[in-house]
Structure 1
Amino acid sequence: MYLIKVKGVAKIPDYVQLRDDKFTLLAYFRVDRPEKSLDKIGLGDKYDYIMGVVRDLPFGKILKLDI
């Protein structure tokens, strides 16, 4: 699974993309509202881990997660 943090501009907020190994989009959510999207794809129990990684990840970088 891959994680990408996208910087928002002006009134558009920052977003996070979660993609599978074939780079298919699994989830796309605002950094400040991830709970519903993570629950929807079955990763609600990994919330603390994923959001910890998101906080430390620079914008525009792609990170491979082993979940």
Structure 2
Amino acid sequence: MYILKVKGVAKIPDYVQLRDEKFTLLAYFRIDRPEKALDKIGLGDKQEYILNLVKDLPFGKILKLDI
């Protein structure tokens, strides 16, 4: 699984994308509202871990997750 942080512009907020090994989009959520998206794909229990990674991740950088 891969994680990507996307910079918002003007009134559009910053978002996070979670993608699988084939780079198919699994989840797309605002950084400040991850609950529903992570629960939907079964990663609700990993929310704190994912948000800590996102906090330090630069915009546009892709990071491979081993979850």
Q: TM-score range by the shorter chain?
A: over 0.9
1:1-67 → structure 2 map (5 Å cutoff): 1-67=1-67
Q: How many residues align?
A: 67
CA–CA distance in structure 2, aligned partners of residues 51 and 33 of structure 1: 10
CA–CA distance in structure 2, aligned partners of residues 48 and 19 of structure 1: 18
Alignment RMSD, CA only? 0.3
Please list every run of 5 or more consecutive structure 1 residues that lacks an aligned counterpart in the other structure.
none
SS in 2 for 1:23: coil
Q: Percent identity?
A: 84
CA–CA distance in structure 2, aligned partners of residues 25 and 42 of structure 1: 14
Please list every run of 5 or more consecutive structure 2 residues that lacks an aligned counterpart in the other structure.
none
Give the TM-score normalised by structure 2: 0.99
